[in-house]
A and B are shown apart, each in its own frame.
Chain A
Amino acid sequence: MDLPTRIEQLKTGALPAIKAVKNKTQLEEWENKLLSRKSGQLTELMKDLKDLSEAARKEAGKLANEVKFQIETALAGKRRELEQSEWSAMIERERVDITQPALPPKERGHFHPNTIIQRELEDLFTSMGFMVLDGPELESDYYNFTALNIPATHPARDMQDTFYIKGHPNWVMRTHTSPVQVRAMQKFGAPLRAIVPGKCYRNEATDPRHEHTFYQLEGLVIDQGITFAQMKGVFQAVADHLYGAGTKIRLMPKYYPFVEPGARGELTCFLCAGKGCRVCNHTGWLEVMPGGMVHPNVLKEGGIDPQQYQGFAFGFGLTRLAMLKYGIEDIRLLESGKLKFLEQF
């Protein structure tokens, strides 16, 4: 057989064989067998070129190169194909169940729901330039009552509602955060913008709606020209912030000895959008914002001239806001220490 025929023969044998190769080892064997520099079949054939006449050599050489190229292409193609299927196999082996949670579970801590709402409001008021103040929970009778225009014989000062301290008849557990109003006025003077979140105590039996220990957020704004309308504006800002822009509020008169005029603010029940539900007692309104214009007697106790300054004060029920926010049905859960409750927040 002449060389070109042998080359053709080699090609006819080699290409299907390469195509049939099943793995990389076989592929390497074929590569060696055909193209190895030392003993490859094609290499060997090409060595015989030198024995041909120039014209025949040119022709056969061209054919040999073409065949070589075809074999090389076939080998490379096969290699890619094998690699591809190896990757596919590996990737398939490595498949994970993406629906499984990360393991082991990493525990997380929890803030008390009251803390969450307190922080929200602290951030809101701080952004409006209010100081955040604290005060003693064991207060003097003076700051808790007298300084707030509640003299000793005032009916608002009901023995039943106040915890007194044995051996110290003029010490009480503060019944509201309002004592800090006068402490703040005495310390900072006017103008003044502050809130006071904190723990309060009332001597009343507990049930799903009543707690002897609860949290308030007091607010106080004193300056020249502060008006009732502005208190309403601040209430609206809080309502918008907590329950979304456009939450309706309405104010009604309410008596507190330390404000005049006094008000209680209601806002549209955010659960039923004012239609009436169990939480709002089917009224469509939630009463959460009591406040009023600071009574001149209170300003005087704080060392501020009521002729020059006036202001408003309010005392939101933080505990109530937290209960409303999360739909907590029993106030006693908040101080129960029950983890099954706390770990939901």
Chain B
Amino acid sequence: MLLSFNWLKQYVKLPDSVTPEAVAEKLKLATVEVEKVERQGAQLENIVVGKILKYEKHPNADKLKVCEVDIGAEKVTVVCGGSNVREGMLVALAKTGARVRWHGAGELVELKPTKIRGVESQGMICASDEIGLSEMFPKKEEKEIFDLSVVIPAKAGIQDNVDSRLRGNDKLKPGTLLADILGLNDTILEIDNKSLSHRPDLWGHYGFSREAAALFNRKLEVCRTKDIKPGKEVKIKAEIKDSKLCSRYLAVAMSNIRVAESPRWLKQRLAAVGCRPLNNIVDITNYVMLDLGQPMHAFDGDRISEIRNQKKIMVRRAQEGEKFVSLDGKEHVLTPEMLVIANEAGPLALAGVMGGEDSGITSDTATIIFESANFAAASIRKTSVKLGLRTDSSARFEKSLDPAQCELALKRAVELTQEICPGATVASAVAAEGAGKSPVSRLTISVEWFAQKLGVKIDTKIIIGILERLGFAVALKKGILQVSVPSWRATGDITIAEDVVEEVARIYGYDNIPASLPSFPLTPPEPNKLRALERAVADVLVRELAYTEVYNYSFVSAAQIAKLGDDGARYLELDNPLSKEKPYLRRHLLDNLLENLHQNIDAYPVLRLWEVGQVFHGEDAGPRVAANSDELLPRQDTWLTAIYVDKANDTPFGEARRAAETISKRLAFTFDFLPPAKPKPWQHPARAAALKHGDRQLGLVYELHPRVAGNFGLAVRVGIFSLNLSALAELTGGAAPSPYQPVSLYPAVMRDIAFIVRTETTHAEIVQALQKSDPLIKKTELFDVFAGQGVKAGHQSLAYHLTYIHPERTLTSAEVDAVEQKIIKLLQQKFNAEIRS
């Protein structure tokens, strides 16, 4: 919302020393967020009206003139090259210090006294494009200077330019600031609307003036209007069918209306705060809204049919399927939760949201009906959201406006119409339905309680003073305050004692509340097992294995799902995705990690990436929707996925497994690597292992199916390790078994053994067989695997370090030889092994 500083000052007389910036700062510290303070015509500083008293040709230049110019307080000599210079002409004179754009081009340059061809020039007579006004006042020829007497006819005066309340001080006198003449002397404060959503009273200038008056401890000039003298031409009957959705409805007819352009002051006021002027009647409704915060509507009275000489207006719920064409020409289908203003023929307006095309003001309108009403916030909001119609009016009504302001707004609109439309008359009595006032809301708060809540003792007198400045009525009795809420704050804004505490605190100044620290019993916090696990695995990946963490969106595309070969029907979907491309909630972290890979692969020979995040499984049960509800949200486990690519490694399974192994060791938690029950379509079926702990599968190590890699545009093999951290967190924690064993007192004997077996023979089988074969074998460690040259097809050569230890004495080599022979026999018999050494 844009706030005009001049408008504000109409209601609160701030001393000149209080700048718009100071008001903005105070508002920011105590009330709302001010996003910008912009001075209109900031560029026109030091540019004033000048009157050319006389001029003569420059002694040293044919095309230049030396002018004597009256600028009010003094007369100055200025050299000028304008083609239209004449005596008595009113011009825009840039004094020393003004900033101009020479010949309308380049950067702004600050004027300094100078000599032009030997003649002193104390300023510059400007062309419109030299002071940024060429759009409003285009030049007709190259060397033309800006002729104010043509632009603003002196005789018509500025009467038309000023609100009746401001009239009388501006004239086209030499020395007057050009910005003032053009009405560009305002400063606009941009308020963040979101910061206003709890303040129904701040949606107009009057409300902000009231706030400013409280902040600066000044008197508010109460807005007063003339009473409406009823007319008899037209009879209006208003009827509220649903008083829950409409608590107040006022309407009055005016005739002899001539729809025309608004006077300049009104247009300027509206334009200054970003509202496009349309015609006098519409502008008046907008002006009243921006002034008092009360949205108004004007119907074309002649387009509302009469029955028995009476214009009947109903405020009722729409019927299911009822159609309505709004002012902007769009047709809407309505539902009963929406409120309409209607007559017998059908809806005339969507209450509080937008008027109808059929009853709107046109250039031929001669009779109007002003509406000033109060509608229930929730219904307005639902309607505007459902129909996608967000208007200045709905934005205000959805904040719960004060019904007491309807009457003031209507009076003000009538008064303005009579002022702006000479001859306009009130043609009816005011039709008034509903209560003009709500019962006063009172809160009881002990003085002590302010200190208990805020942690600072504020003097009771100060508390009462602040509340009274804000319009609250306060009575103090034995340390208890009886606080009556003013009507403009009583519609939901201030309902509980805490709300009153905030009022006091913000005016007292949050800055004036001293910081202190709470004291707590010395108890360590309950640990978060999942977080501890996340950190442990992250540390391994980053610090030991050089993986880099990525953060991805939780959304995936249909294309990604198809590329993986996954079942799209299993994915949860956003109802209103930002991009139609990625509407699905990820079921695993892989999809987006593969995109990361694709994006980076050209620049790196080796890539190691990982991500930790929640995934969404609609078919599994997650947390409750509410404490007392049986409905469950989807299960949202936190997973880790790490991917590994080395362009020179066509079996990255091993590296992926290394990540799993290292983490397993760090956590002192063992996984069994077993063939997965049913590999997923994106898993290489012969290069996949399920990570199991007992019956539970906690993760996977696998290579991406090369076909799927191709789908993602990847011409490399991808090793993948994924781990369900949520599931693992339930199993880990507590004291891990100690990895320590006493070091043997007797020396270990190390022997290597290498042999050739069929490729199908697994390491697990061999280790199991070796370890069972003799108790002297303490450790079996695979250190080399080889296939290819020198090894017959379908076979592989395996080499192991074997460690032999006797717990009670030193082994002799004969003993070790014997065990070795036993092993060789076993390998030959069980695996048909060919021993190499």
Contacts and interface: CB of A to CB of B under 8 A. Distances in A.
Contacts of B452: 225, 227, 310
Contacts of A225: 452
A251 B515 CA distance: 11
B525 A230 contact: no
A155 B197 contact: yes
Interface string A183-215: 100100001011000010101111000001100
A106 B546 CA distance: 9
B577 A163 contact: yes
A255 B195 contact: yes
B528 A296 contact: no
Interface stretch (A10-18, A72-80, A126-134): A126-134
Nearest to B522: A129
Nearest to A170: B625
A327 interface: no
Contact of A229 (B514, B530, B631): B514
A31 interface: no
Given A165-B574, A213-B554, A140 B498 contact: no
Main DSSP-derived SS at the A contact region: mixed
A173 B609 CA distance: 26
A193 B592 CA distance: 35
Given A142-B625, A228-B454, A229-B516, A337 B578 contact: no
A111 B510 contact: no
Given A171-B633, A186-B627, A337 B596 contact: yes
Contact of B513 (A114, A142, A213, A228): A228
Contacts of A340: 603
B510 A253 contact: yes
Given A255-B195, A255-B198, A138 B633 contact: yes
10 contacts: A107-B546, A109-B548, A122-B531, A136-B633, A140-B626, A153-B398, A165-B585, A225-B452, A253-B510, A293-B453
Given A109-B542, A143-B626, A250-B510, A295 B576 contact: no
B526 A252 contact: no
Contact of A251 (B511, B525, B626): B511
A337 B600 contact: yes
B614 A137 contact: yes
Interface in A78-113: 106-112
Contacts of B399: 155
B595 interface: yes
Interface stretch (B48-56, B501-509, B559-567): B501-509
A342 B604 CA distance: 14
B516 A193 contact: no
Contact of B573 (A130, A165, A230, A310): A165
B572 A138 contact: yes
The 8 closest A-B pairs by CB, nearest first: A229-B455, A227-B455, A153-B378, A261-B502, A109-B542, A337-B596, A251-B510, A232-B515
Given A111-B542, A130-B525, A230 B455 contact: yes
A66 interface: no
Interface in A228-272: 228-230, 232-237, 250-255, 257, 260-264
A218 interface: no
A119 B535 contact: yes
A47 interface: no
Interface residues of B, number: 95
B518 A233 contact: yes
Given A227-B455, A337-B592, A342-B549, 7 more contacts: A109-B542, A137-B554, A155-B197, A183-B623, A212-B553, A337-B595, A339-B548
Interface string B3-45: 0000000000000000000000000111101000000000000
Contact of B542 (A110, A156, A263, A303): A110
Contacts of A170: 625
Nearest to B192: A254
Contacts of A155: 197, 377, 381, 398-399
A228 B505 contact: yes
A335 B553 contact: yes
A338 interface: yes
A186 B574 CA distance: 28
B606 interface: yes
A38 to B, nearest CB: 47
Contact of B381 (A134, A142, A153): A153
A343 B548 contact: yes
Interface string A14-56: 0000000000000000000000000000000000000000000
B453 A310 contact: yes
A337 B198 contact: no
A230 B526 contact: no
A7 B625 CA distance: 113
A141 to B, nearest CB: 8
Interface in B520-546: 520, 522-526, 528, 530-531, 535, 538, 541-543, 545-546
Nearest to B638: A134
A226 interface: yes
Nearest to B608: A109
Nearest to B505: A261
Contact of B502 (A166, A221, A260): A260
Given A261-B505, A261-B506, A205 B551 contact: no
Interface in B608-629: 608-609, 613-614, 616, 622-627, 629
Given A227-B455, A252-B29, A136 B528 contact: no
Contacts of A107: 546, 606, 608
Given A109-B608, A293-B498, A338-B599, A193 B520 contact: yes
A334 interface: yes
B499 interface: yes
B552 interface: yes
A129 B518 CA distance: 12
Given A110-B549, A339-B600, A134 B530 contact: yes
B654 interface: no
Contacts of A65: none
A134 B377 CA distance: 35
A322 to B, nearest CB: 10
B549 A229 contact: no
Interface in B796-814: none
Contacts of B673: none
A234 B549 contact: no
B498 A295 contact: yes
Contact of B31 (A133, A228, A253, A260): A253
A226 B452 CA distance: 8
A159 interface: yes
B448 to A, nearest CB: 12
A234 B519 CA distance: 11
A132 B575 contact: no
Nearest to A115: B549
A334 B551 CA distance: 7
A126 B531 CA distance: 12
B517 A234 contact: yes
B636 interface: yes
B39 to A, nearest CB: 16
Contacts of A237: 517
B456 interface: yes
Contacts of A262: 502
Contact of A138 (B379, B523, B530, B616): B616
A109 B547 contact: yes
Interface string B354-384: 0000000000000000000000011101100
Contact of A109 (B454, B511, B546, B625): B546
A165 to B, nearest CB: 6
Contacts of B574: 163-166, 173
Contact of A129 (B30, B523, B616, B625): B523
Contacts of B271: none
Contact of A254 (B33, B554, B616, B626): B33
Contact of A114 (B385, B551, B585, B609): B551
A293 B29 CA distance: 18
Contacts of A130: 525
Nearest to A107: B546
